[in-house]
Chains A and B, each alone.
Chain A
């Protein structure tokens, strides 16, 4: 008997009061029109009001952390990049940063700048992707299309500089594998300036449109204390008024380039949208600075020998928030343990909290404003 048949049978034999009393349970997902990825909630409703949500993950769990035992530590970057196709470069780079700190391997300056450039490029493409999907969830089809058209300009730059559209494939242990010339970078900055103008226009539409504001303002409010206590990260935490951005750690070239942490205080869906819109603008500025200041020189150093026995963490700021990598070596070519705590994994408890008390029609909006990445979460 299949699972569903069993469920129907169980329900048919359940005591009558289970149906009459208590909240209505509405399954949300895994295959749902607003979700590009499978995520499931059991929403407990009283009329239209959400009393609680029980998240369920596991549909795309692959178990890639264990694969580190079978692959050479330098080859595992390919797997790390595919933790998630949206922040692929940052995943590859985060793994490399952790391994490099284990090896005690400083990377060349040009590689650090290029990493920063690609990180910000990825942030722009991810936030634009989010803007499109959020618009789609709100029924704002033309903004969805416009955001994705602009995103293609950014992906063209990615393809030209790194060689891949979504999986960049340019992070390696000891630096980066691609070295775009200064002329290429200058040309890319020109192309990005076009995208920047377009994004400004789109952000204005997104943040000032009366319908969008009506759907986002005051919806899914998360207080600063709740966000902090539940371990939320990224725009989710910053929109609630806590200024924490892992880029302040100064990894790659952020120490030299500098940036400003974007904070909003309202804690609702609108605040999260504003944080992302402001971050896109800032990312363009960071890329300009990187290209203006990029030093000449080699882009990688060979990673010789085995990683020594030991362990290391690395923390980065992804588009969705802080990510934590952990590697442990036993002195052989295959690492003993690799672990990644992704931003969506940390944001799930806060998302559930934000949903409580909202109405059923707002659930897709709330889910979309945390910008869930399920592939990251389940690995």
Chain B
């Protein structure tokens, strides 16, 4: 009787609801690959609750002064570009539904848009090395994602499979990450759980939703899209000084974090 009762309970309790939906906030400093060796460190805020994490960067809500340029932020640095709006650039992951949605603010070349990215499982190989980041004991793991090899440090003391950017899926929070070529790097800045701040748990929606393939194409040819738009606005007198062709395309995606996509293999 007891056995059947347990069985009935497990069958009946189909609805998936998590208790304790508190929100946490982790702040990372992320450096993306760039032709300028030492540029583009972006402070990224990752909000999370039990099942959803939303990584937000370039949001004017957090940086009142979006003057183009670089400002000091405490003892760190914050890069502010005219790029960005209130919502910012979002990487929204729903671990329950296993989907990942990206949202990009308006740029000179494109209006706001969202992209449904593919939920790829990263095959992490956990190493024996340990280190301490802040007060957390961390273990090392190595994994490959879209043709880049990432070396990360994660802590089981924060037992969520979350991580910065699109890195996730370890038995603990990823605090630090770097790729083998040292072009992409993430440094952990702070964590606060629970936090009084709220974040949008629903996945972002914009007028335009690009497919992943369209998005990759747009980023590969961004300089061209941008040049298109800018050229069309230049006054007549500039015509004679337009002498350079757009710079060579980065067809090997040397300066992109994601080098090869699933359909390109």
A in complex with B? no
